[in-house]
Amino acid sequence: MPIEFTLGLAAAIFSVGAAGVTFRRDPLVLFMCVEMMFNAANLALVGLSGYFGLLDGQTMVFLVLAVAAAEVAVGLAILIAIFRVRQDVDVDHVSELRG
């Protein structure tokens, strides 16, 4: 697999995720976009791992997977905690203290 292609794809997915984070207001979709960015980095690492013949990239992906999963769990817990207080989870509405 050409490494340029893998890295380009990773960069594209990363950018789509970043654009999504800035575009979307729905916190759940925001989380998905952030995860997408994590995944893009993972893809780049796996691709480079193969390219170099080094196992380091895959080992790092292994560790990153654990971190990302923990992060999602905490984020969703925060979201649900807010939802219990107010029955509305929209970042625009959350902001009562802007300025």
Partner 1 sequence: MNGVISMNNLPGIYPDLVVLLGAFAVLALELLWPQKGSKTRVLYVSMAVLGLGLLGLGARSWGMPQEVFPGFLRVDGLSGMAKFILLGIGILTLAAGKSGSRNLGLDHAEYYALLLFALFGMMQLCGSVNFLGTFVDLETFSLAMYVLAGFNKRLAGNREAALKYFLPGAFAAAFFLFGLALVFGATGSVRYQDFVTAWQSPALREAQRALMLAGLGLMLAAFAFKVGLVPFHFWVPDVYEGASTPVSAFLSAGAKVAGMVALLRLVGLVADPLDFFQAGPSSYALGRVLLLLSVLTMMVGNLAALRQKSVKRMLAYSSVAHSGYALVGLVAVLGGHSPDGASALMAYVLVYVLMNFAAFGLVAALEAGWPQALLGRPPMLEDFNGLGFAKPVFGAALALAMFSMAGLPPTAGFTAKFFLFKSAVEAGQVGLVVVAVLNSVLSAAYYLRLVVHLYMRPAAREAGLPLFEGWGAWMTVFCALLLLFWGLLPQSLINLSQAATMGIWH
Partner 2 sequence: MGLTQALFFTFAALALASALSVVFTRHTVWAAYLFVAHLLCLAVLYACLSAPLVAVLQVMVYGGAVMVLFIFAIMILDASVLGRLDWRQEALQAGLSLALGLGLAGLLFYVLDRHAPALALANPVSASADLGRGNVAALGRMLYTQYLLPFEVISVLLVVAAVGILVMAKRKLED
- 65-84 residues in contact with partner 1 (CB under 8 A) are 67, 70-71, 74-75, 78-79, 81-82
In angstroms, give the least distance from the CB of 96 to partner 2. 17
Among 9, 16, 21, 32, binds partner 1 (CB under 8 A): 21
Q: Where would I find the beta strands (DSSP E) of the chain? A: none
Picked from partner 2, partner 1, none, the partner binding residue 95 (CB below 5 to 8 A depending on kind) is partner 1
- Exposure pattern of 60-85 as b/e (b: 16+ CB <10 Å)? bbeeeeeebeeeeeebeeeeeeeeee
Q: Furthest-apart CA pair in the chain: how many Å?
A: 52
Asked whether position 60 contacts partner 1 by CB under 8 A, the answer is yes
